[in-house]
Amino acid sequence: MKKVMDTALLLLLLFFTVHANRTHYRPPGKPTRARCRSPEKETFTCWWEPGSDGGLPTTYALYYRKENSDTVYECPDYHTAGENSCFFNKNDTSIWINYNITVVATNALGSTFSDPVDIDVVYIVKPNPPEKVTVTVMEDKGWPFLRVSWEPPHKADTRSGWITLIYELRVTLEGEDDWEMHLAGQQKLFNIFSLRSGGTYLVQVRCRPDHGFWSEWSSTSYIKVPDYFHREKSVWILITVFSAFIFLILTWLLHMNSHSLKHCILPPVPGPKIKGFDNQLLKNGKSEEVFHAMVVSDFPPVTTSNYEDLLVEYLEVYVPEEQKLILEESKYLHKLEGSTSDNDSGQGSLESHTLLMDKREETKEEERLTGQEGSQTGMGPQRHQKDWDEEKPYAHEDIVSPAMSSGRVKTWPSVFSPLPQYSSGPKSQLSSLKIAKQHCLSDSLFSSYNAEPGHNTKKAIGPSWEFCFSNKQPQLQAHSDVNISSIGRNQAPVFRQSPAHQSTEYVEVLRVNEEDMVLLQPVVLGSSHGKGWPPTHQVEVYSKVKEVDSDNTVLLQKEVMDEEVDRCPCEDQEVNGATESCYTSSDITTTQKPAGCSHAAMPAQDEMVLAASGYVDTATMFTLPTY
Amino acid sequence: MAHRRTSGSKLFMTVLCMVAACNAVPITELLDRASQRSDKLHSLSTTLTQELDSHFPPIGWMIMPRPSMCHTSSLQTPNDKEQALQVSESDLLSLARSLLKSWVDPLLVLSTSVNTLPHPAQSSISNKIQELQENSKSLGDGLDILSGKMGPAAQTVSLLPYSGGNDIGQDRISKLTNFHFLLSCFRRDSHKIDSFLKVLRCRAAKLQPEMC
């Protein structure tokens, strides 16, 4: 019956279609793509795609037949599932039964049938996505992991086992495109490990019945993994320990090689390699003393032929006003015992201020010295005799015989100030002192050139001219037939320390008395002193010690000056322990060759000049009376 | 009716639990294994039919017998969920066993006729048919053990003889069509078996909800 009706309807539609050829209307197009789905194996829905409507309002109908019967049923529900759909509820759904479904589009001009579709509900199951997906960060022994849990779609009856669902989830980091798939089976819980610290993860879950289609993915769940430093901490600890270890090793290596490294990086500054240079002195800041220390007795190396070059050409003595020459030789000599002088050299430089003080004390005792020499020089001269003995070899080489200069012997002012009344044989004393001083000066000069080991005279030649007096009495034997008389205090020669440009007063060596004292006399320019004094003249002629010969005589040499002088080999002069730097003979011999200018005491005395005009001619003065 | 069935099922569950407690292998475990086997069976059959459909002549659809023509259609099985959930466990098991036993012979016919099957994927189909047979056999054995543990009611098996004979057709179309038809019937029946066993599994695993 139904078939007849259908056929009639079809014919009618065809008739109308034929008649409607003239118009643009057409029968509807065939609905296509009819598909059905069941979410829980209890209901199902079919959808179709409508074809062209042919310009006329078209209606759609779905008809179905079940396999066991020929009854055509129409869709019971066109609305629940939306447009172009048909919903079969539980009452209309039978499983394990084939449905033959056809969709018919109908408009005024006709109907169009779609292709029939055979379906079995159990084969078209596509569940809804899982619900209540929760992702939490949990910790497993310090390592975090994600725990994802979900629930099956609420429609699917999994509790009774009617539908068995298999789940699958996928994870990705925020911003990345690759998903990490995980099949979870039938469980509703899943753990994801190996997370990146501090990353945000996206998680999705879907499900599928045991023999069905995959559901859609659930909505994305975002989860942020907190920063954890567990792994990094262990790495950092390892790195720290390792680097500390390496650092310790490096430190130890550095310490081991610190010395060589120091030499590499900071090469040692070579110190001054000057003989006699004392670094300590330099550090102490006393530059004067440093330079004094540099006065080495045997530097520069002096040979006999070159001694002239090394000698200071002149000796200049400057006596200040307030310091007067003490002509009393013995007293000075006595005082000199206690003076601090270098005992290790022939230099015997005196400390002038000591001498000064001593002299001030002894201003009144000037008369007595000469007689007290022998007794008072107890220890001292002996001591110094030793020194002199030691100095012998040096002395011979270096001491130049005093030049027979007509010039003055310049003495140091400090030594002779305050100048007491040099009563006893002032002249001789003066001369002796002078000579002694001269000698000593030259001695000091030479001795400084001597590279004497251990010689460390603190008295330098330079700024401080020191009178070289040893403790021993300055026994200068002078051959002099001229008496040097003391001029007086006001006429005391002025000593000055630097040999230059100050008004100088000169002391003339008068003679050496019988007690081996050089008697000196201050010389005033222009005045004549005693007989036999050569007249003074402007030209300054100096004497210098040339050498000390084998007889322990100081040979003075006078510089050749422009005025004519008598050449005379200088007399031998003995200086007995006059100063430390003076070379004394062990025995005080006053035997000199009187007026032995041509005496053999001076070998190679080329330049011996005997001054004739007002200057001390040491050679002449040192003619000693034979004892 | 329903009330009685519910109380009956409760009784059954009690018996089941007692029986399960005295056994080495618990029933739930056996059911789980059986379910997995049946699941595999059905998946194989689905794959086979899809493979066969790839090169199936359209005209074969025309002469295809209707599914009610399956030799197991006489067996009364639930048609929807409510009906299925009301079936007792023994019945469910009995149904499953009956279905499975009914397919022993037809599968044999299929395995013999696949050799001459005019199909491009004939070898693959042949392998799968082989697999089907093995699976079906092992599942049958397991269900027999299960039924032994589930009481006498589970032992009843309905006989469903296959009347198709050894010949599935002479011409290519007939062969293919008949082959296809048999496989489709098997596919449905395997699905029924799988569903029944899974329902049984969930019912037996009341203490283990994660299984369902």
pLDDT band at A142 (very low <50, low <70, confident <90, very high): confident
Contact call for residues A359 and A331 (beta carbons, < 8 A): yes
pLDDT at A315: 61
What mean pLDDT is predicted for residues A192-216? 91
Tell whether A211 and A150 lie within a shared domain: yes
Please state the ipTM of this predicted complex: 0.85
Contacts of B66 in chain A (CB under 8 A): 67, 98
Sign of the Cα torsion A182, A185, A190, A194 reads negative
pTM: 0.53
pLDDT at B159: 86
Q: Which of A490, A557, A560 is nearest to A524 (CA)?
A: A490
Tell whether A184 and A94 lie within a shared domain: no
Residue that terminates a domain, selected from A120, A140, A158: A120
Is A343 part of the contact surface with chain B (CB cutoff 8 Å)?
A: no
pLDDT at A19: 63
Does the pLDDT value for residue A33 go beyond 90? no
In a domain, A42, yes or no: yes
Contacts of A187 in chain B (CB under 8 A): 210
Bridge partners of A61, per DSSP, are A104
Q: Which of B140, B117, B118, B139 is nearest to B129 (CA)?
A: B117
Extents of the domains making up chain B? 28-211
Residue A211 and residue B210: Cβ atoms within 8 Å? no
pLDDT band at B186 (very low <50, low <70, confident <90, very high): very high
Contacting A residues, span 400-429, partner chain B, CB-CB under 8 Å? none
Does the pLDDT value for residue B167 go beyond 90? no
What angle separates helix B27-54 from helix B172-204, to the nearest 10 degrees?
160
Where residue A53 sits, what CATH number does that domain have? 2.60.40.10
Work out the minimum CA distance from B69 to partner chain A, whole angstroms.
Answer: 10
What angle separates helix A379-398 from helix A329-337, to the nearest 10 degrees?
100
Work out the minimum CA distance from B79 to partner chain A, whole angstroms.
Answer: 5
What mean pLDDT is predicted for residues B103-109? 91
Residue B201 and residue A161: Cβ atoms within 8 Å? yes
Rounded to 10 degrees, the C-alpha dihedral A189/A194/A196/A200 comes to -20
Work out the minimum CA distance from B133 to partner chain A, whole angstroms.
Answer: 20
pLDDT band at A387 (very low <50, low <70, confident <90, very high): very low
What mean pLDDT is predicted for residues A188-203? 89
Bridge partners of A125, per DSSP, are A38
Does the pLDDT value for residue B118 go beyond 60? yes
pLDDT at A505: 66
Does the pLDDT value for residue B13 go beyond 90? no
What is the 3-state composition of chain A as percent helix, strand, coil, each rounded to the nearest 5? 25, 20, 50
* Pairwise CA distance, residues A292 & A341, whole Å: 14
DSSP structural state of residue A524: -
Average pLDDT over chain A, rounded to an integer? 66
What mean pLDDT is predicted for residues A306-328? 59
Contacting B residues, span 33-72, partner chain A, CB-CB under 8 Å? 39, 42-43, 46, 66-68
Does the pLDDT value for residue A594 go beyond 80? no
Residue B79 and residue A95: Cβ atoms within 8 Å? yes
* Burial category of A502 from C-beta neighbours within 10 Å (exposed 0-12, middle 13-18, buried 19 and up): middle
Phi, psi of A391 (to 5 degrees): -80, -5
Contacts of B188 in chain A (CB under 8 A): 96, 120
pLDDT at A294: 64
Comparing A228 with B202, the larger pLDDT belongs to: B202
Tell whether A47 and A75 lie within a shared domain: yes
In a domain, A202, yes or no: yes
Residue that terminates a domain, selected from A182, A204, A230: A230
Q: Find the range with the poorest average confidence among A27-31, A331-335, A471-475, B26-30.
A: A471-475
Work out the minimum CA distance from B107 to partner chain A, whole angstroms.
Answer: 21
Tokens 């290519």 belong to residue:
B172
Kindly report the CATH class assigned to B28-211.
Answer: mainly alpha
Q: Which domain holds residue A142?
A: 131-230
* Pairwise CA distance, residues A290 & A458, whole Å: 8
Contact call for residues A279 and A271 (beta carbons, < 8 A): yes
What mean pLDDT is predicted for residues B121-135? 92
What mean pLDDT is predicted for residues A244-265? 89
Tell whether A138 and A54 lie within a shared domain: no
Comparing A27 with A607, the larger pLDDT belongs to: A27
Does the pLDDT value for residue A529 go beyond 80? no
The residue ranges of DSSP E strands in A129-174, in sequence order, are 131-140, 143-151, 165-173
Q: What is the pLDDT of residues A207-220, one digit of tens each?
A: 999 999 999 999 99
Tell whether A104 and A135 lie within a shared domain: no
Does the pLDDT value for residue A69 go beyond 80? yes
Q: What is the pLDDT of residues A80-136, one digit of tens each?
A: 988 889 999 999 899 999 999 999 988 888 888 888 889 999 999 999 999 999 999
pLDDT at A88: 93
Per-residue burial over A306-317, b = 16 or more CB atoms within 10 Å of its CB, e = otherwise: ebbebbeebbbb
pLDDT band at A424 (very low <50, low <70, confident <90, very high): very low
Does the pLDDT value for residue A56 go beyond 80? yes
Does the pLDDT value for residue A143 go beyond 60? yes
pLDDT band at A580 (very low <50, low <70, confident <90, very high): very low
Does the pLDDT value for residue B194 go beyond 60? yes
pLDDT at A5: 87
Sign of the Cα torsion A230, A235, A238, A239 reads negative
Q: Which of A462, A454, A341, A441 is nearest to A398 (CA)?
A: A441
Does the pLDDT value for residue A578 go beyond 50? no
Q: What is the pLDDT of residues A501-514, one digit of tens each?
A: 455 666 676 776 77
Work out the minimum CA distance from B70 to partner chain A, whole angstroms.
Answer: 12
Q: Find the range with the poorest average confidence among A267-281, A437-451, A530-544, B149-163.
A: A437-451
Phi, psi of A48 (to 5 degrees): -145, 165
Does the pLDDT value for residue B152 go beyond 70? yes
Residue that terminates a domain, selected from A177, A201, A230: A230
What mean pLDDT is predicted for residues A187-216? 91
Q: Find the range with the poorest average confidence among A64-68, A182-186, A224-228, A462-466.
A: A462-466
- Percent of chain A with pLDDT strictly greater than 70: 44
Q: Which of B81, B189, B192 to mutate to test the interface with A (most CBs of A within 10 A)?
A: B81
- Please give the single-letter amino acid code of residue B96: A
Query: How many structural domains are present in chain A?
Result: 2
pLDDT band at B2 (very low <50, low <70, confident <90, very high): low
- Percent of chain A with pLDDT strictly greater than 90: 20
Q: Find the range with the poorest average confidence among A291-295, A445-449, A499-503, A535-539.
A: A445-449
Residue B199 and residue A211: Cβ atoms within 8 Å? no
pLDDT band at A301 (very low <50, low <70, confident <90, very high): low
Provide the total of helices (H) and of strands (E) in chain B, helices listed first.
Answer: 8, 0
Comparing A97 with A624, the larger pLDDT belongs to: A97
